[in-house]
């Protein structure tokens, strides 16, 4: 599909590629693969390998700093810093953090949502409901006073590493602080916000309505949307990015995801047709404008679906447009015949199961599946039958389904919600369309 890119986009692609190959030691072995200046820029990128967290660990972080820049001096001056992150798909890596670049990337992404463009000035009040393992201040032993969770224009509503620790008192405090602080924007893990919304809805608590709710850190499920919409009338938008790549896509008011093309290049690799291609595939991200840290064709670990026709009703037409981000490649599952099922496809099936609060599907073998469910429904036996029928329709009539009822589900060690797990480590390259 041909996307609408400006000449500046291709100029940034060229400058970034040639600087990385000429001056960044981590890409030294890539130089021999470059077809050269006579080839088109897209062909040159396509000839390059894929950067993964494994390579980042091998070269971290000095190997991604271009020659001529002194990393020690940058760290000493505070222009850059080191951050450790495990994300959702790998063990810990050390990244180089450039706050000025990050902020500029974030600001550029706001233009793709009319509510964000209007409300997010950079000085606006913002409340954050995220796992404390990901951002904010962590305290599992005691509840922190508001003064310990308020930094500059940000109020961090949660200090716990596991929302299963939330008490009614703590959730009432969150609701009260939203009313007192009256944030312009609420940034939230969708799984955490949906948990708070279940409490507010059940206990008939009125909740302050911010100008915009932005989902980050996790894949927002249909169930999250349903539970949040029972409590909040605010506009909702999902912001997509990573620690390594900054802000990559922003969801517009029409629900599509628009590439932040001033700050990144995105290469799309479709899956084979039998696994959802050519519109479904993985995305590789190359960062622009960060002089300290060069990420070239970084596998962000997610599947994305291209918008058919390449147009959006919002009228924005620059860069790649996605109809959906479909979840982590590490969290795909498979039918009994071996067809890949994205978390998004599973999500679209599970939403038809009434009365669930949370869920996670663990595929334990080629034909054995465990659905872990937290639910207030009293008719658990009937729910078991409904869930089994629903999952057999998706995974195969002979699939062995076990439904496991839980009081609550905990996040992954990364602090993020996971809705599906395969029985083995997925090598997504096996499912890509090499043609």
Give me the helices (H) in 230-379, please: 343-350
Phi, psi of 378 (to 5 degrees): -80, -25
Could you tell me if residue 309 is inside a domain? yes
Asked whether residue 37 falls in the same domain as residue 68, the answer is yes
Look up the pTM and report it. 0.96
Last residue of a domain, which of 314, 329, 344?
329
Asked whether residue 102 falls in the same domain as residue 249, the answer is yes
- Band of the pLDDT at 86, cuts 50, 70, 90? low
CATH number at residue 418: 3.30.300.30
Q: What is the mean pLDDT of residues 50-56?
A: 95
In terms of C-beta density within 10 A (0-12 exposed, 13-18 middle, 19 or more buried), how is residue 392 classed? Answer: middle
Q: What is the mean pLDDT of residues 135-145?
A: 96
Whether the Cβ atoms of residue 314 and residue 254 lie closer than 8 Å to each other: yes
Asked whether residue 320 falls in the same domain as residue 252, the answer is yes
CATH number at residue 268: 3.40.50.12780
Could you tell me if residue 178 is inside a domain? no
Last residue of a domain, which of 329, 362, 379?
329
pLDDT tops 80 at residue 129: yes
Asked whether residue 270 falls in the same domain as residue 359, the answer is no
307-338 burial string, b = 16+ CB within 10 Å, else e? beeeebebebebbbbbbbbbbbbbbbbbebee
Domain residues for the domain of 381 are: 333-424
Asked whether residue 293 falls in the same domain as residue 342, the answer is no
Last residue of a domain, which of 329, 360, 378?
329
What pLDDT is stored for residue 87 in this prediction? 55
The strand pair at 356-363 and 420-421 is best described as parallel
pLDDT tops 80 at residue 225: yes
What pLDDT is stored for residue 91 in this prediction? 61
**C-alpha span between 171 and 173 (Å, rounded):** 5
User: What is the pLDDT of the chain when averaged over all its residues?
Assistant: 96
What pLDDT is stored for residue 1 in this prediction? 76
Asked whether residue 418 falls in the same domain as residue 273, the answer is no
Could you tell me if residue 15 is inside a domain? yes
Asked whether residue 322 falls in the same domain as residue 338, the answer is no
Select, from the ranges 36-40, 232-236, 431-435, the one with the highest average predicted confidence (pLDDT).
232-236
pLDDT in tens, 143-195: 999 999 999 999 999 999 999 999 999 999 999 999 999 999 999 999 999 99
- Band of the pLDDT at 77, cuts 50, 70, 90? very high
Asked whether residue 303 falls in the same domain as residue 259, the answer is yes
Three-class secondary structure of residue 144 per DSSP: coil
DSSP E strands in 276-406: the ranges are 280-287, 298-306, 321-328, 333-334, 340-341, 356-363, 368-375, 400-406
Asked whether residue 85 falls in the same domain as residue 46, the answer is yes
Asked whether residue 314 falls in the same domain as residue 356, the answer is no
Could you tell me if residue 204 is inside a domain? no
Q: Which of 63, 80, 110, 360 is nearest to 239 (CA)?
A: 110
Could you tell me if residue 128 is inside a domain? no
pLDDT tops 80 at residue 89: no
**C-alpha span between 420 and 409 (Å, rounded):** 12
pLDDT tops 80 at residue 92: no
Could you tell me if residue 379 is inside a domain? yes
Q: What is the mean pLDDT of residues 90-95?
A: 76
pLDDT in tens, 373-429: 999 999 999 999 999 999 999 999 999 999 999 999 999 998 999 999 999 999 999
Q: Which of 2, 7, 58, 8 is nearest to 28 (CA)?
A: 58
pLDDT tops 90 at residue 111: yes
Could you tell me if residue 289 is inside a domain? yes
What is the number of structural domains in the chain? 2
Could you tell me if residue 139 is inside a domain? no
């Amino acid at each position: 599909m041909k996307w609408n890119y400006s000449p500046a986009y291709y100029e940034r692609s060229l400058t970034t590629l040639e600087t990385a190959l000429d001056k960044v030691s981590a890409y030294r072995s890539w130089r021999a693969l470059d077809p050269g200046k006579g080839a088109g820029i897209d062909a040159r990128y396509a000839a390059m390998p894929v950067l993964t967290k494994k390579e980042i660990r091998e070269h971290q972080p000095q190997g991604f700093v271009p020659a001529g820049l002194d990393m020690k001096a940058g760290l000493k001056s505070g222009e850059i810093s080191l951050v450790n992150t495990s994300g959702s798909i790998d063990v810990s890596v050390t990244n180089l953090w450039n706050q000025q670049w990050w902020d500029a990337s974030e600001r550029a992404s706001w233009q793709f949502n009319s509510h964000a463009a209007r409300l997010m000035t950079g000085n606006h009040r913002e409340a954050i409901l995220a796992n404390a393992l990901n951002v904010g201040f962590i305290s599992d032993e005691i509840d922190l006073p508001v003064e310990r969770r308020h930094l500059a224009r940000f109020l961090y509503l949660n200090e716990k590493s596991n929302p299963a620790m939330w008490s009614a008192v703590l959730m009432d405090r969150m609701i009260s602080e939203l009313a007192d602080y009256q944030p312009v924007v609420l940034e939230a893990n969708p799984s955490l916000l949906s948990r708070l919304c279940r409490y507010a809805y059940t206990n008939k608590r009125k909740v302050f309505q911010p100008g915009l709710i932005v989902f980050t850190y996790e894949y927002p499920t249909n169930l999250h949307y349903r539970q949040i919409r029972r409590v909040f009338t605010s506009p909702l938008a999902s912001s997509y990015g990573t620690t390594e790549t900054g802000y990559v896509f922003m969801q517009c008011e029409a629900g599509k995801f628009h590439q932040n093309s001033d700050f990144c290049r995105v290469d799309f690799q479709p899956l084979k047709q039998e696994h959802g291609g050519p519109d479904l595939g993985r995305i590789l991200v190359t960062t622009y404008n960060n002089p300290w840290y060069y990420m070239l064709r970084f596998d962000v670990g997610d599947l994305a679906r291209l918008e058919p026709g390449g147009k959006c009703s919002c009228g924005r037409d620059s860069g790649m447009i996605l109809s959906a981000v479909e979840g982590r490649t590490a969290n795909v599952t498979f039918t009994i015949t071996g067809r890949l099922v994205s978390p998004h496809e599973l999500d679209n099936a599970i939403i038809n199961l009434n009365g669930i609060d949370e869920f996670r599907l663990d595929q334990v073998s080629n034909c054995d599946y465990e659905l872990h469910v937290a639910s207030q429904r009293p008719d658990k036996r009937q729910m078991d039958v409904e869930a089994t029928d629903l999952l057999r329709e998706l995974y195969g009539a002979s699939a062995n389904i076990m439904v496991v009822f839980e009081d609550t589900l905990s996040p992954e060690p990364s602090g993020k919600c996971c809705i599906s797990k395969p029985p083995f480590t997925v090598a997504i390259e096996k499912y890509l369309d090499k043609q």
